[in-house]
Structure 1
Amino acid sequence: MKNIELNYGRGTVNLSLDEKNIIEVIEGNEFKVSKSEDEIILDALHNPIGSPRLKELVNPGETVCLIIPDITRAWQKTDKFLYKIVEELNAGGVKDKDITVVSAAGSHREQTKEEHEKLLGKELAKRLSVINHDCFDKENLAYVGETTYGTPVWVNKKALECDHIVLAGGIVYHFLAGYGGGRKTVLPGISSYETIMHNHSLCLKPNLGEGKNPNSACSNLKGNPIHEDMMQAAAFLRPTFIFNVVVGHDGKIAAAVSGNYVEAFYEGCKIVDKIDGVTIKEKADLVIGTAGGFPKDINFYQTSKTIINVKEAVKEGGTMIILSQCSEGLGGNQDVQDMLLNYDNLLDREKELRREYSISKDIGYIFCELASRFDVIFVSDLDPELLKKANIAVVKTLDEALELTWSKKGKDLKTYVMTAAASTFPKMS
């Protein structure tokens, strides 16, 4: 027997399995980092991809809009690298008074002064003008064109008024766009609500009953309409420069890219694959995955990252056992809860998703859609009644989950164990 300790909430759970049934324990890739975070940042800024250095692209007297993520993406550690970007701008003759920082909140709430200080660092927050993007503020939005996907692109007017746009943030896997970062700082970052929702609704196939477009998925850019639509939106603005980090499993900056907003972004995506993309040779009958403990399993909504990754390693019709304590319940907003609780079939959920698309509804739909294709069992503190209509079983212990699986499918199951499923993405070789 093989014993494996899995993080669960603020503690751990022991898994004991017959070794002959375990294909592999998926723990993520080893990615050696030999430089400090400051060295990584400077190396990227001094060696841009497909572009001269930022200081060579700007001139004295010109204005710059520096677009940064909002507080929900504080993991990107903007306070660590923004001052270095500003140093580059200053070296090119751009004065602090000519730099405007826009917090790319997308459809999220307004940021507070304290949150701006956290994102920029206290010193930079004092030096620079910082504004919040508001996707509903029509007076401060400008129309720049329509994409070939029919998305009307309205963006922050202040960004358009500047001579240069610089995009800053981080690249990570994204369940719809393939990867976050890059062009995503424009759409959804500084776009109107209408623009954002039209773009995200492209994850659905054209006709009712056809469900989701499989190309709108983690790690996929080819034929991904959401990504392609975002690229077209960004092209209307012609960003001058980009700086994106990739964060390692320890929460530190492991790599960074800068330069041309297209070429540098694609290079950053390759780095994400090296860190978080785990190659597998076959799919399993059973995958046991833990979100990684608190706070990654704080609620059901946050566990979406885990189940989206786990599904990549499971055979169609196979079983997923997800360890997610969910100490704060379902999480998310009313949309995701309605999707789980108020419908008893996938078609009605899809109708609601098409009627008025929202990301929260989509997250709820994804859980239910996966539960229609796989046996999904949650080891969790959640009330089992909450997920009954979603066709997801909820049990209190891992042993219960295993017994439930074995009673249906027998014990001789090819199995993967994912010890950090929220941040590792299995990819078939």
Structure 2
Amino acid sequence: MQKKYAYKYGRSKIDFTLDTDLIIAELGIKDFPVLSDPVEAVREAIRNPIGSKPLREIVKPGETAALIVNDTTRVANSHVFLPVLLDELNAAGVGDQDIWIVFALGTHRLMTEEEMIGEVGAEVAQRVKMYNSDCKDSSQFQFFGTTSYGTPVYFNNKVVEADHIICTGSVVHHFFSGFGGGRKAMLPGVAAYETVRKNHSLMLEPGAMIGKLAGNPVYHDQVEGTEMHRPAFLLNVVLNEKKEFLRVFAGDYLLAHKECCDFVNQVYGAPVAKEADLVIASCGGYPKDINVYQLQKTMDNAWCAVREGGVVIILGECAEGSGSATYEKTMQKYRAPGEVEAAIKADFQIGAHKAYAVTRLMKKAEFILISSMEPALAQQLLFTPAKDMTEALQLAFAKLGSAEPGIILMPMGSLTVPLIQE
């Protein structure tokens, strides 16, 4: 039986028709109920933590606390839970004058005052001081040692001078460190550039992959570094695709985070019986497909569902092209995934690593891209360009040498993470 599909592409949709006998699965996000009272849920989580004493029993009157908070690139709805955290600290005898916020910028640009206020809310911004962590300013950092992976660990002075560090943030899958949240507030969040660069270079090692913590060298290195100045408490949240609260986790920064990751798998993980010959994935439209830099998340997720030697068709408008001059410059120099990998191994740099992040996936499968980019640019980035779904399917079927490939569909490819059950 033929069935018509309409998948998001930029601000519009692309229609196509497939024989339903070929479809192995159409993957979606589970419909979890949103929290009716997020503020009360935050309060309950703080007072009944996982693997830890309640926050009120950890801090003492007159002590100081540094709260690490997401920057604008990671939505956490910090403005909702920060007032609750401040009130709990106040109730334990820690005044607003002894609490401050440090934004976990990692290697991202500095935030403006307006952006800071937007993240934490006007009330919190008036109550406590706020600081950027500038990874390139060596005067802001203190050295704590070198991990067994060779990463020199430098943390921001404003974080480590506090009596207590409280990590906050949201948790989603991460393409090479397994999951966001948890220890990432510290490393890379408030670490120096060289700490981040060396840690992220471990993405080249086996085990550095999406949805994996145990055996992931990036994760273990981050934890080893964070243990050199252990946070006192964690508050992580899980949001749905509409940025609504699904669950709140608080307590020990490792144990609470682990439970949080298990829940993220329940929400965004999609069990699949076996890998497919062909995966058709939409990023989910604008802004998730605004450029290749953003589209890479969908590539990673689709990669999980395709067999070795298979094909992935990505629907991504890429109105802003590649999204990174450094990425394009790297791809102008190197013409194959192996060449990119060798270059990144020889000189790992943040930014250029995106070229490796994209092309490493192309070793497993061919990626056909339907976009608004010039075909020459798509080819330079090692995609197979297609002007529409008709051409993309013709190319895919020819590559596979079959008119009846097994197909997995991913209408929300940027969010859905296939979990192969074999």
The reply on whether 1:141 has 2:132 as its aligned counterpart is no
Q: Which residue of 1 aligns with 2:23?
A: 22
Counterpart residue type for residue 309 of structure 2 = G
Alignment of 1:28-43 (within 5 A): 28-33=29-34, 35-43=36-44
1:146–1:30: structure 2 CA closer, same or farther, 3 Å change rule?
A: same
- Where 1:264 maps in the other structure, the secondary structure is helix
The reply on whether 1:423 has 2:415 as its aligned counterpart is yes
> Contact 2:336–2:382 at 8 Å: present in 1 too?
no
In 2: Cα distance, 1:132 partner to 1:149 partner: 27
In 1: Cα distance, 2:329 partner to 2:42 partner: 43
- Where 1:76 maps in the other structure, the secondary structure is coil
> Contact 1:40–1:254 at 8 Å: present in 2 too?
no
In 2: Cα distance, 1:234 partner to 1:102 partner: 16
In 2: Cα distance, 1:415 partner to 1:345 partner: 27
> Contact 2:281–2:312 at 8 Å: present in 1 too?
yes
> Contact 1:340–1:365 at 8 Å: present in 2 too?
no
Q: Which residue of 1 aligns with 2:161?
A: 161
Deviation (angstroms), 1:416: 0.7
> Contact 1:171–1:179 at 8 Å: present in 2 too?
yes
The reply on whether 1:350 has 2:341 as its aligned counterpart is yes
In 1: Cα distance, 2:299 partner to 2:28 partner: 16
| Cα distance per residue 1:260-303 (max 9 Å; x no partner) | 11110111101100100110011111000000000100111100
In 2: Cα distance, 1:189 partner to 1:356 partner: 22
Deviation (angstroms), 1:32: 2.9
Alignment of 1:187-206 (within 5 A): 187-205=187-205
In 1: Cα distance, 2:163 partner to 2:328 partner: 44
Deviation (angstroms), 1:128: 0.5
Deviation (angstroms), 1:57: 1.1
- Where 1:71 maps in the other structure, the secondary structure is coil
- Where 1:232 maps in the other structure, the secondary structure is helix
Give identity over the alignment, percent: 37
> Contact 1:82–1:120 at 8 Å: present in 2 too?
yes
Deviation (angstroms), 1:348: 2.6
Q: Which residue of 1 aligns with 2:61?
A: 60
Q: Which residue of 1 aligns with 2:90?
A: 90
In 2: Cα distance, 1:356 partner to 1:407 partner: 38
Deviation (angstroms), 1:357: 1.6
Q: Which residue of 1 aligns with 2:256?
A: 264
Deviation (angstroms), 1:399: 1.5
| Cα distance per residue 1:344-403 (max 9 Å; x no partner) | 123331232123323432221232222233121001001111132443111221111112
In 1: Cα distance, 2:71 partner to 2:319 partner: 25
1:368–1:129: structure 2 CA closer, same or farther, 3 Å change rule?
A: same
Aligned with 1:400 (options 350, 366, 391): 391
Counterpart residue type for residue 51 of structure 2 = G
Taking structure 2 as the reference length, the TM-score comes to 0.96
> Contact 2:9–2:284 at 8 Å: present in 1 too?
yes
Alignment of 1:29-428 (within 5 A): 29-33=30-34, 35-73=36-74, 75-205=75-205, 213=206, 215-332=207-324, 334-408=325-399, 409-428=401-420
Q: Cα RMSD between the aligned structures?
A: 1.3
- Where 1:286 maps in the other structure, the secondary structure is strand
Runs of 5+ consecutive residues of structure 2 not aligned to the other structure? none
Deviation (angstroms), 1:238: 1.4
> Contact 1:21–1:414 at 8 Å: present in 2 too?
yes
> Contact 1:167–1:242 at 8 Å: present in 2 too?
yes
- Where 2:25 maps in the other structure, the secondary structure is strand
1:134–1:391: structure 2 CA closer, same or farther, 3 Å change rule?
A: closer
> Contact 1:380–1:396 at 8 Å: present in 2 too?
yes
Counterpart residue type for residue 251 of structure 1 = K
Range with greater deviation from structure 2 (283-292 or 404-413): 404-413
- Where 1:72 maps in the other structure, the secondary structure is coil
In 2: Cα distance, 1:378 partner to 1:342 partner: 21
- Where 2:352 maps in the other structure, the secondary structure is helix
- Where 2:73 maps in the other structure, the secondary structure is helix
In 2: Cα distance, 1:159 partner to 1:407 partner: 56
Deviation (angstroms), 1:38: 2.4
Deviation (angstroms), 1:241: 0.4
Counterpart residue type for residue 105 of structure 1 = L
> Contact 2:281–2:302 at 8 Å: present in 1 too?
yes
In 2: Cα distance, 1:81 partner to 1:196 partner: 27
Deviation (angstroms), 1:40: 2.7
Deviation (angstroms), 1:200: 0.7
| Cα distance per residue 1:47-79 (max 9 Å; x no partner) | 210112112211111011111111111x11111
In 1: Cα distance, 2:14 partner to 2:310 partner: 23
- Where 1:39 maps in the other structure, the secondary structure is helix
Range with greater deviation from structure 2 (61-70 or 288-297): 61-70
In 2: Cα distance, 1:158 partner to 1:179 partner: 26
Range with greater deviation from structure 2 (383-392 or 321-330): 383-392
> Contact 1:5–1:15 at 8 Å: present in 2 too?
yes
In 2: Cα distance, 1:349 partner to 1:387 partner: 16
Counterpart residue type for residue 12 of structure 1 = K
Counterpart residue type for residue 344 of structure 1 = R
Runs of 5+ consecutive residues of structure 1 not aligned to the other structure? 206-212
> Contact 1:55–1:90 at 8 Å: present in 2 too?
no
1:176–1:359: structure 2 CA closer, same or farther, 3 Å change rule?
A: farther
